[in-house]
Chain A
């Protein structure tokens, strides 16, 4: 596989796991993202980067069907999300839930299995084994019976990851998994990413720390109200694109679209 041509061909053979076609999203009738197009091949780790309010989380939630999209199409493995729901795992931002809720770590991770359970079937021994394994993968097996209110920020994030792992999905969509975690957790998450990629899984993360993008991710989506660039990190993560993403506010575009929406 050292032959570059062979490697290129192998790269081409990889199937597309996620395809986004002219996706547009609104928030309270204001456009947040316009006309986003990209596709992601299997087994990549992908960073979604962009300034605050650029629509990174919105993009993630839109793809996941958590908030309505204004127009456009999202397909996973060539099909609508509805048909591939359980192949896609979602890891919300840590702040989205109340960590004082009375529940222990094991039960939270077990929730990753709920999608596969029919309404009145209870989790069985197999589900429990999967949960144990997921906890081990993130190094939290000792905390299995701990109340979630007693966890540190890094541990909370690991629990969220374990819950997604328990889903046995093929694509992982994560909203800032590195936000506010300690170094040990950051390293553990990266190790986990590599393991997942080895197993052919795809990881898509909203990511804030630009310094670590080239090390942690092999693809990048650069977003600021529209898609600035998408592709392998070494190709798209350039000073020029970064400048466009973080400074290049297209004031006129925003103003005109807003007028358009007030009008319509």
Chain B
């Protein structure tokens, strides 16, 4: 098995090179075109089109009794378009909604395809074996002549996207505005449909009719986690599609009896889950880390401010305090308090004094800054937003953790460099605090 794997990636077998490059091209073209379906909120149409291709493939074989890729591809494209217009007609001219129209076309065309496939099995034609592979995909069945034609079709569909990128994006975002500019919207929609049909029918060889929807949608669903820019997302779709294509081809080589479609779904869903968890900004892990960091910051800053407030009452800023004293002023879980003390010790904000703790210079400055933010905001709300003084505390509790020096300056300037908060307490100055005396 390992030997076979190494043999595959040595690429010495010319057939492997063909299958691999074919799979990569087909994978990227379905990935890219699928993203347009995704952004137009018509994801499932790809699934319906893939099923609609089946009777086309079978009819072409029955009529011409050949596996020539041109004939098969032609048949698939024709029946895909028939299916597409069928859906379009039902949506526009009957009371049937799009989801039902998709289901009708999908099942009807698939049923016809299966009838034909069964009929073909009984025919006495040499070439018929392997035709059923199209149901679940079989990358290893690709031969050089297939790959050349499928590859050209894949490049064609990608070229359409590159050439008409601006218009296709405009129509995807805002169809009516495009129309109002005099852009020939139906033409571009047909062009896009053509490119989608093309990448669906060529993808059938390796992904299969039944699981085609995954090849169209997983790449964009994963790509969306990594970027906010459409060109970037499209590149990622191509990359993810290519990876899944390559992986499917490899597996198909190792286990020729196994259909490749399911493997492709497994590969793509792996990419999707990795994206969902580890993508920066949107990924679940990063989000979790960010929330934890913010929560810790809130705890630490609250603790510092509590130290400051207690010290302020005692008029001595280097007083040593017991954790219990902190808890008597601020409602905080003992566990959270313990962890917070540990972090503040580590950062040199507080220091240990036997069983007590006291603020360091650094800690005092930080505590003063947070207190200043808190009281400035309370004053801002009472003075500017006309909120009663007894109701501003809760908002300031949150705002004190997110203010920046720049915002602080603006608030302070707008309030005319105030010295007292609405409760009559002193707003600490922004100058650093050295040894109890302002510099």
- Which chain A residues have a beta carbon within 8 Å of chain B's beta carbons? 61, 64-66, 82, 85-86, 88-90, 92, 96-98, 101-104, 108, 111, 114-115, 119-120, 147, 149, 163, 167
B181's nearest neighbour on chain A, judged by CB, is A115
B144 within 8 A of A: no
Cα distance A89–B182 when bound, in Å? 11
Contact partners of A98 in chain B: CB under 8 A = 39, 41, 173
| Majority-rule SS of B interface residues | helix
Contact partners of B224 in chain A: CB under 8 A = 102
Question: A82-B182, A101-B172, A114-B183 given as contacts; is B39 within 8 A of A92 (CB)?
Answer: no
Question: How far in angstroms is the closest Cβ of chain B from A91?
Answer: 8
Question: How far in angstroms is the closest Cβ of chain A from B37?
Answer: 13
Is the Cβ of B182 less than 8 Å from the Cβ of A103? no
B228 within 8 A of A: yes
B229's nearest neighbour on chain A, judged by CB, is A102
Question: A102-B229, A103-B230, A163-B177 given as contacts; is B172 within 8 A of A115 (CB)?
Answer: no
Classify chain B: how many residues form its interface, as a range.
20 to 34
- The segment out of B145-153, B163-171, B375-383 that lies at the interface is B163-171
B227 within 8 A of A: yes
Is the Cβ of A97 less than 8 Å from the Cβ of B228? no
Is the Cβ of A114 less than 8 Å from the Cβ of B173? no
Contact partners of A90 in chain B: CB under 8 A = 176-177, 180
Cα distance A66–B233 when bound, in Å? 31
A116's nearest neighbour on chain B, judged by CB, is B181
Question: How far in angstroms is the closest Cβ of chain A from B90?
Answer: 14
Question: How far in angstroms is the closest Cβ of chain A from B92?
Answer: 10
Question: A102-B228, A102-B233 given as contacts; is B181 within 8 A of A86 (CB)?
Answer: yes
Is the Cβ of B173 less than 8 Å from the Cβ of A86? no
Question: How far in angstroms is the closest Cβ of chain A from B113?
Answer: 34
B179 within 8 A of A: yes
Cα distance A163–B174 when bound, in Å? 12
Given contacts A86-B181, A167-B181, 12 further A-B contacts (CB under 8 A): A66-B176, A90-B176, A90-B177, A97-B174, A101-B173, A101-B230, A102-B39, A102-B224, A102-B227, A111-B174, A114-B183, A147-B228
Is the Cβ of B181 less than 8 Å from the Cβ of A85? yes
Contact partners of A64 in chain B: CB under 8 A = 179-180
Is the Cβ of B166 less than 8 Å from the Cβ of A114? yes
